[in-house]
Chains A and B, each alone.
Chain A
Amino acid sequence: MLEIKNLQVSVEGKEILKGLNLTVNKGEVHAIMGPNGAGKSTLASVIAGKQDYEVTGGSILFNGKDILELSPDERAKEGVFLAFQYPIEIPGVSTINFLKTAVNEIRQHKGMGNMEAKEFLAMLKEKQKLVQIDTNLTGRSVNEGFSGGEKKRNEIFQMAMLNPQLAVLDETDSGLDIDALRIVAEGVNKLRNKNNAFLVITHYQRLLEYIIPDFVHVLYNGQIVKSGTKELALELESKGYDWIKKEFSEIPA
């Protein structure tokens, strides 16, 4: 589904990703771990198409299509979802109105008509239940005045509503207490199926106790330096990132 080949990315002239390769298939959950500054969030942003990131080499294919040429909304319509590390507040725009617009835009892209209000509300209720989000949060403006945990939960709720093929979770666990973490993870687990895939970016192994990944990759210094299964996450947890840093420090900065 997602095929990243030799991806090189710079920000303001500084090279962050230095030839990254990654393949994600349908039905898989991949975790990307790595120390601060390794390029984890850059990877998430580049997949989603954020400005200010200059792709200097390599490619990202999504279902065989080169998405680097697509605008961020076109990528979203193709089925790419990013759960933001720092979700944005949009004052005055209710979450319901926001999601209705998004759902209908995506439907139109697929050649479907707008969703009936009744059907939309039913879906809203169902997904609220699924991710255990407080119903009055969806009546409020998008993320405005939400706590850190509420914002993260709202990201997962939006994911449930938009039902993407590929969801990239950028440090969704940061700033969450243990209960919120479990709720978020449960939401993801409920949404997992054989047709979609997840790319879970995290600094800690903690989240992976709840979302069991099929593969774990270690991102360090702009490249994936180690890949394995969930045991690799445990190994990282016990040995720490210094272990990786020592082993791969010969890679020129």
Chain B
Amino acid sequence: MAGSDKILEEITTSEYKYGFTSDIESDTIPAGLSEDVVRFISAKKEEPEFMLEYRLKAYRHWLTMKEPNWAHVKFPAIDYQSISYYSAPKKQKVLNSLDEVDPELLRTFEKLGISLVEQMRLSGVAVDAVLDSVSVKTTFKEKLSELGIIFCSFSEAVRKHPELIKKYMGSVVPPGDNYFAALNSAVFSDGSFCYIPKGVRCPMELSTYFRINSAGTGQFERTLIVADEGAYVSYLEGCTAPMRDENQLHAAVVEIVAHKDAEVKYSTVQNWYPGNKEGKGGIYNFVTKRGICLGDNSKISWTQVETGSAITWKYPSVILKGNYSVGEFYSIAVTNNMQQADTGTKMTHIGKNTKSTIVSKGIAAGKSNNSYRGLVRINKGASKARNYSQCDSLLMGDRCGAHTFPYIEINDKTAIVEHEATTSKIGEDQIFYCNQRGIDTEKAIGLIVNGYCREVLNKLPMEFAVEAQKLLAVSLEGSVG
């Protein structure tokens, strides 16, 4: 008993392995938020008037709102005036090749195992690398443009494709949607924009690596993905963040629009700095992600592996407006030490014969708290809507908490909604069985947890799945051996 407990203890108190900082000159404005700051950001980014108006409207609305307090998380009050709302790597001359990229930045990516060179050469994945706020390098753009696919930084899209931005931005997550979305709408720095034209199947996985870098800078990404009729795209977002002492706020907004017969697959591996064992530092990850299945037979699928951040507040959702549209949410959330996660999804069924599936696996270790919170809403008239939810929690150690808070609202008698949830401890008999085959307890836990999450891992694109599996093992790994 004692031996295995000790290992579990060691494993569950392991520290973040990707902690380091990179030193790049940043162009940062003083901390604080005001209309002037909003205007400064907009001006700095050389935005058209409509964008400034959008930002100001959001800012004014934000001022009237209150920070939400319903999630099962605790944190000291955030001083929004102590955050710097703009930080960009100093503008260098236009880059022609990777050789011209700041070598410090390249080294940072290499440490993360996501070097652009490797990515470009080996995997055929287009990488829109965002360091802090401004897009540094976009690759494979030419290849994509041949197909009519637009994949660029959000700032570039605002300048070059204002009609698309005007049409879709805020159409899924309105500027006043919630406190953090409003904040993002006012001060968003940069992000990615992706448009897949009618009938086009994007031939590669599109991916973006976000990083938070400058001390005391909030990160306010904005992503917009539009899949036109019959289009398909698989989008990857992966995060690792360097170690910092101060808490950092991350309030991103992701919007997805899927037209008739379109399909968007959005996969995330999130490994922001979770803070140290005592809960000092770490990222506050307050993200609004939502997609709308606008047309009939459209499909939006969210897959997430959340292992990082001090606090995660995130509910990737789908509005099922088109008839026969499909929404999916597959999630793994691992919390260790003092981490807190309150994550889940909202599936709003409006169209007829709409279908949603929710599979959530929560793993809590250390002194962490891990909550699933979800809403399934079947509107009146959403006839023959169908939802299936499965939410499982695994507890490792007796000082953590695992919670399940599903909300189910059904207003149509032809709906069928099923929800199941279980909470249990990691199986000691399974660990012993592995031990008996020569596998030590630490590896056994990695193996069992990966098995437990299989259903979700299988939904990730291949290379991402491998990375995610490693991440799961690492997140629960200790200094053993």
Task: Determine the distance from Cα of A48 to Cα of B429 in the docked complex, in whole angstroms.
Answer: 13
Q: Is A243 an interface residue when CB atoms closer than 8 A count as contact?
A: no
Give every chain B residue within 8 A of A82 (Cβ-Cβ). Answer: 436
Q: Decide if A102 touches B432 in the complex (CB within 8 Å).
A: no
Q: Decide if A101 touches B451 in the complex (CB within 8 Å).
A: no
Give every chain B residue within 8 A of A101 (Cβ-Cβ). Answer: 439, 443, 447
Q: Decide if B435 touches A73 in the complex (CB within 8 Å).
A: yes
- A sample of 26 inter-chain contacts (CB < 8 A) reads A50-B432, A51-B432, A52-B1, A73-B436, A73-B439, A76-B439, A77-B438, A84-B433, A88-B427, A88-B433, A89-B430, A90-B448, A92-B453, A93-B450, A97-B447, A98-B434, A98-B447, A101-B447, A102-B437, A105-B438, A105-B443, A141-B454, A142-B451, A158-B437, A162-B437, A162-B438
Tell me, rounded to whole Å, the shortest Cβ–Cβ distance linking A49 to chain B. Answer: 7
Which one, B1, B3, B447, contacts A93 given CB within 8 A? B447
Tell me, rounded to whole Å, the shortest Cβ–Cβ distance linking A167 to chain B. Answer: 11
Give every chain B residue within 8 A of A109 (Cβ-Cβ). Answer: 438
Q: Is B368 an interface residue when CB atoms closer than 8 A count as contact?
A: no
Task: Determine the distance from Cα of A77 to Cα of B427 in the docked complex, in whole angstroms.
Answer: 22
Tell me, rounded to whole Å, the shortest Cβ–Cβ distance linking A140 to chain B. Answer: 12
Which one, B3, B432, B437, B452, contacts A98 given CB within 8 A? B437
Q: Decide if B427 touches A71 in the complex (CB within 8 Å).
A: no
Q: Decide if A106 touches B447 in the complex (CB within 8 Å).
A: no
Interface size on B, residues (CB 8 A): 27
Interface flags, B399-441, vs A, CB<8A=1, else 0 = 0000000000000000000000000000111101111111111
Task: Determine the distance from Cα of A92 to Cα of B450 in the docked complex, in whole angstroms.
Answer: 7
Q: Is B156 an interface residue when CB atoms closer than 8 A count as contact?
A: no
Interface flags, B70-114, vs A, CB<8A=1, else 0 = 000000000000000000000000000000000000000000000
Give every chain B residue within 8 A of A76 (Cβ-Cβ). Answer: 435-439
Chain A residues numbered 53-91 whose CB sits less than 8 Å from any CB in chain B:
71-73, 75-77, 81-82, 84, 87-91
Q: Which B residue sits closest to A101, measured CB to CB?
A: B439
Q: Is B10 an interface residue when CB atoms closer than 8 A count as contact?
A: no
Give every chain B residue within 8 A of A84 (Cβ-Cβ). Answer: 433, 436
Give every chain B residue within 8 A of A71 (Cβ-Cβ). Answer: 3, 435, 440-441
Q: Decide if B452 touches A106 in the complex (CB within 8 Å).
A: no
Q: Is B119 an interface residue when CB atoms closer than 8 A count as contact?
A: no
Give every chain B residue within 8 A of A89 (Cβ-Cβ). Answer: 430
Known contacts: A88-B427, A92-B455, A141-B451. The answer to whether A102 contacts B433 by CB under 8 A is no
Interface flags, A110-154, vs B, CB<8A=1, else 0 = 000000000000000000000000000000011000000000000
Give every chain A residue within 8 A of B390 (Cβ-Cβ). Answer: none
Task: Determine the distance from Cα of A139 to Cα of B420 in the docked complex, in whole angstroms.
Answer: 27
Tell me, rounded to whole Å, the shortest Cβ–Cβ distance linking B270 to chain A. Answer: 21
Give every chain A residue within 8 A of B430 (Cβ-Cβ). Answer: 88-90
Q: Decide if B436 touches A81 in the complex (CB within 8 Å).
A: yes
Task: Determine the distance from Cα of A48 to Cα of B444 in the docked complex, in whole angstroms.
Answer: 16
Give every chain B residue within 8 A of A49 (Cβ-Cβ). Answer: 435-436
Q: Decide if B451 touches A93 in the complex (CB within 8 Å).
A: yes
Interface flags, A145-177, vs B, CB<8A=1, else 0 = 000000000000010001000000000000000
Task: Determine the distance from Cα of A48 to Cα of B438 in the docked complex, in whole angstroms.
Answer: 11
Give every chain A residue within 8 A of B452 (Cβ-Cβ). Answer: 91-92
Q: Decide if A93 touches B448 in the complex (CB within 8 Å).
A: yes
Give every chain A residue within 8 A of B441 (Cβ-Cβ). Answer: 71, 73
Q: Is B4 an interface residue when CB atoms closer than 8 A count as contact?
A: yes
Interface flags, B439-480, vs A, CB<8A=1, else 0 = 111011001101111110000000000000000000000000
Task: Determine the distance from Cα of A141 to Cα of B440 in the docked complex, in whole angstroms.
Answer: 19
Q: Which B residue sits closest to A159, measured CB to CB?
A: B437
Give every chain A residue within 8 A of B438 (Cβ-Cβ). Answer: 73, 76-77, 102, 105-106, 109, 162
Task: Determine the distance from Cα of A75 to Cα of B430 in the docked complex, in whole angstroms.
Answer: 17
Give every chain A residue within 8 A of B451 (Cβ-Cβ). Answer: 90-93, 141-142
Known contacts: A51-B428, A51-B432, A72-B432. The answer to whether A91 contacts B454 by CB under 8 A is yes
Give every chain B residue within 8 A of A88 (Cβ-Cβ). Answer: 427, 429-430, 432-433
Q: Which A residue sits closest to B437, measured CB to CB?
A: A102
Tell me, rounded to whole Å, the shortest Cβ–Cβ distance linking A230 to chain B. Answer: 28
Q: Decide if A105 touches B440 in the complex (CB within 8 Å).
A: yes
A75-B436, A82-B436 known; 14 other A-B pairs, CB under 8 Å? A50-B432, A52-B1, A71-B435, A73-B434, A73-B440, A73-B444, A76-B436, A76-B437, A76-B438, A88-B429, A91-B451, A98-B437, A102-B437, A105-B439
Q: Which A residue sits closest to B2, measured CB to CB?
A: A51
Known contacts: A51-B428, A73-B441, A102-B438. The answer to whether A90 contacts B433 by CB under 8 A is yes
Tell me, rounded to whole Å, the shortest Cβ–Cβ distance linking A113 to chain B. Answer: 16
Give every chain B residue within 8 A of A98 (Cβ-Cβ). Answer: 434, 437, 447
Give every chain A residue within 8 A of B435 (Cβ-Cβ). Answer: 49, 71-73, 76
Task: Determine the distance from Cα of A93 to Cα of B4 in the docked complex, in whole angstroms.
Answer: 21
Give every chain A residue within 8 A of B434 (Cβ-Cβ). Answer: 73, 90, 98, 102
Task: Determine the distance from Cα of A208 to Cα of B443 in the docked complex, in whole angstroms.
Answer: 37
Task: Determine the distance from Cα of A52 to Cα of B454 in the docked complex, in whole angstroms.
Answer: 30
Chain B residues numbered 1-51 whose CB sits less than 8 Å from any CB in chain A:
1, 3-4
Q: Decide if B443 touches A87 in the complex (CB within 8 Å).
A: no
Tell me, rounded to whole Å, the shortest Cβ–Cβ distance linking A43 to chain B. Answer: 15
Q: 3 smallest A-B Cβ distances: which pairs?
A: A92-B451, A92-B454, A93-B451
Q: Which B residue sits closest to A77, measured CB to CB?
A: B438
Task: Determine the distance from Cα of A55 to Cα of B25 in the docked complex, in whole angstroms.
Answer: 64
Task: Determine the distance from Cα of A77 to Cα of B438 in the docked complex, in whole angstroms.
Answer: 5
Give every chain A residue within 8 A of B448 (Cβ-Cβ). Answer: 90, 93
Q: Which A residue sits closest to B457, measured CB to CB?
A: A92
Task: Determine the distance from Cα of A49 to Cα of B438 in the docked complex, in whole angstroms.
Answer: 12
Task: Determine the distance from Cα of A141 to Cα of B439 in the docked complex, in whole angstroms.
Answer: 17
Give every chain B residue within 8 A of A77 (Cβ-Cβ). Answer: 438
Task: Determine the distance from Cα of A97 to Cα of B436 in the docked complex, in whole angstroms.
Answer: 16
Give every chain B residue within 8 A of A93 (Cβ-Cβ). Answer: 447-448, 450-451, 454
Tell me, rounded to whole Å, the shortest Cβ–Cβ distance linking B330 to chain A. Answer: 14
Q: Decide if B439 touches A102 in the complex (CB within 8 Å).
A: yes
Task: Determine the distance from Cα of A158 to Cα of B435 in the docked complex, in whole angstroms.
Answer: 13
Task: Determine the distance from Cα of A9 to Cα of B427 in the docked complex, in whole angstroms.
Answer: 24
Tell me, rounded to whole Å, the shortest Cβ–Cβ distance linking B40 to chain A. Answer: 51
Q: Which A residue sits closest to B428, measured CB to CB?
A: A51
Which of B4, B440, B455 gathers most chain A CB within 10 Å? B440
